[in-house]
Homo-oligomer: A and B are copies of this chain.
Amino acid sequence: MQSFRKELWFNVPARRAFINITPQVEDALAESGIREGLVLVNAMHISASVFINDDEPGLHHDYDVWLEKLAPHAPLSQYRHNDTGEDNADAHMKRQVMGREVVVAVTEGRLDFGPWEQIFYGEFDGMRRKRVLVKIIGE
């Protein structure tokens, strides 16, 4: 069994954004030389997500509106977490809806994807340096 590890770094210039990281994960897989196995891709921060969905800007707008309805950012005072001096309690909720991680099959050296699957980094508390972990195990 082989294993491979790589960090992807982000500094999103807005509070919220969705970034397609499929090319970076494909590069990590090529670098690893692994042909059969599993890739884990996870946010290393607890107010961000990694998820798989469609690379369609209208949908990303819809996600943003929908998540804000499910877990509004303001008023800040509605969340006890913000009493600690933070203003990101809503980001911890949004991240749970969208998920921390994805696990993707590796088959014949490629991400074993359906026709529209793309991997996204979901930032819900940006304007700071944050990381995603890519861990690959297999042969």
Q: Which residues does A use to contact B, with CB under 8 Å?
A: 1, 3, 5, 36-38, 40, 42-46, 51-54, 56-59, 61-63, 66, 70-71, 79-84, 89, 92-93, 95-105, 107, 112-117, 131, 133, 135, 137-139
The prevalent SS among residues of A at the interface is mixed
Count copies of this chain in the complex. Answer: 3
Q: Assess A138 versus B1: contact at CB under 8 Å? Given A53-B46, A114-B44.
A: yes
Which chain B residues border A135 with CB–CB below 8 Å? 38, 105, 107, 112
Sort A-B residue pairs by CB-CB distance and give the 9 closest, nearest first.
A44-B114, A58-B80, A105-B135, A59-B81, A3-B36, A58-B81, A62-B79, A46-B53, A1-B1
What is the bound-complex CA distance between A37 and B37, given in angstroms? Answer: 11
Contact status of A46 and B117, CB under 8 A, knowing A40-B105, A80-B59, A93-B62:
yes
Determine the distance from Cα of A3 to Cα of B1 in the docked complex, in whole angstroms. Answer: 11
- Which of B40, B62, B100, B115 is the one whose CB lies under 8 Å from A81? B62
Q: Is the CB of A40 within 8 A of B37?
A: no
